Structure 1
Amino acid sequence: MIRHLSLFLLLLTPALQAADNLGVLGSKPKWGVLEHYQETITKDEFSQLIQNVYCTHGIAPDLIEINTDTARILTSREPQKFFTLRFAKNDTSRNPVPRLWHPARSWSHAKADKPLSGLRIALDPGHLGGKWAKMEERWFQVGNTQPVQEGDLALKVARLLAPRLRELGAKVLFVRDRNEPITAKRPDDFRELARKILIKNGVPQPRTEVLDPNDPEKEQTIRWQSEILFYRYNEIRRRAALVNFKLHPDLVLCLHFNAEGWGDPNNPTLTDINHLHLLVNGSYLEQELEF
């Protein structure tokens, strides 16, 4: 299943969208990339992954049509266009899967003292921290104590983890190694786009600035929307590009701290609530696939 994860990420992330249904700051799918995956997967394996992993809630029949030798994948409804993926006839005739990482089976003979030898691990400390912490709302302070900034904590953990991984033989790469964004863009670069998004979402004359951080309508301001476009959408896309096109790791560890709500911001209180989240790609809703 790991062998064809990259193929299904390409198929199911932006691919099943109609031509205009792209995420914020998204780009149109490059269907030509899938030509590299022709005859790398059998019909049985493809069908099993579609039915039992990625589309477990069902799928519109015109999105992916599985035939004996091919899968016809809808790429656009207006005008109607398709991509045809050819299946391998059997396991022995399949073409090798192009990949920039090592498959799990290649680590079966790892050295006892260096079990991660040769493995490329990218550490991605979540958020930004530093002077950006308040903007991204990943900051809190109790009384006059030193503020807790989630981005700073994530980076500190990454720096503690890196030498331990190296001792085990891994090549460690940092997606973010300081309290600064990866993207060269800044919030002001997105002000016009933020204005257009607000107007499209029913705010005909959006305010420019956030006058009060506790204002329940702050999300309807150009400032707030442009900041979201900067530190969430654009920054995350730039990190993904760095991982996919430059670092080429075998494994990415995304490190995050997410503070619980602390009640009255003028009189915050700490909480013992803790969470562990595991995000696994797959099991898309039919509405997500239709989008």
Structure 2
Amino acid sequence: MIGIVGIVIIFAMVFGGYIAGGGHMEVIIEAVPFEMITIGGAAVGSFALSNDMASIKHTLKDIGKVFKGVKWKPSDYRDLLCLLFELIRLARQNPVAIEEHIEAPENSSIFGKYPKILKDHEAIEMICDTMRSASMNYDDPHQVEEVLEKQLDANYQHAMHSSHAIQSVADAMPALGIVAAVLGVIKTMGSIDQPPEILGEMIGGALVGTFLGVFMAYGFVAPFAMRIKSVIDEDSHFYKLIREVLVANLYNHATNICIEVGRQNTPHHIRPSFSELEEALKAVKSEAA
């Protein structure tokens, strides 16, 4: 919703200020279709040229994040801590019983309580692979922590590709606007024998190209790239929480301590309160009883 509000404000302030200053929209409206074909078409073409099909699909999908916002809400962090609590407690009580949950999480009664988390393959793979390492009595938690850190970094870099791709388009659009403007000037020079009022209109139309290139780059495309980056950064805390809890488990801290380590390492605005988490964990314990 806030994304739509931002778009409305941009249009209202830019064109409202132009009209209030005595500008006439006719010149812009007439030139926009032709200039957008040049600028937009070249931008789309350069984007397709610099990315493979998988990256293009990934980027188009990620544009939705501008309007949808973050995937993981504060309640999801609470659910994640409850899930990890159940898994760690079961692994310590019955190491054999945990295997059926981490080997086939889609059939697990524990994972099944948290369908949103279960649908996220990255989170499930990280949990199951690390729990599997713990069940094999992996004797060096530092190595597991290093592996998790590299995995998180690789996943983050992959997720950030769409933001980088869109930012590259934003960086190119002002120059593409100049290209459109130059073409407009060339067209104008070919009609140099026309009256001044016609030449003035043609030059104004050519300058619309420069305006659109800069306007689209800094008013829309670059903010889209920045918004996607901020959403990815925000959602990355979810996976970092998994790392914190599971690494604490490898150091054989008490189950409640492992969960509290994860809770305290979660940013404050999405961190469940101690009392809220305590109530949720009590509910989990009562179900298991």
TM range (shorter): under 0.3
Higher strand share: 1
TM norm structure 2: 0.24
The structure with more helix, counted as a fraction of residues? 2
Larger Rg computed on CA atoms? 2
Structure having greater relative contact order (Cα 8 Å, sep ≥ 6)? 2
TM-score, normalising length: structure 1: 0.24
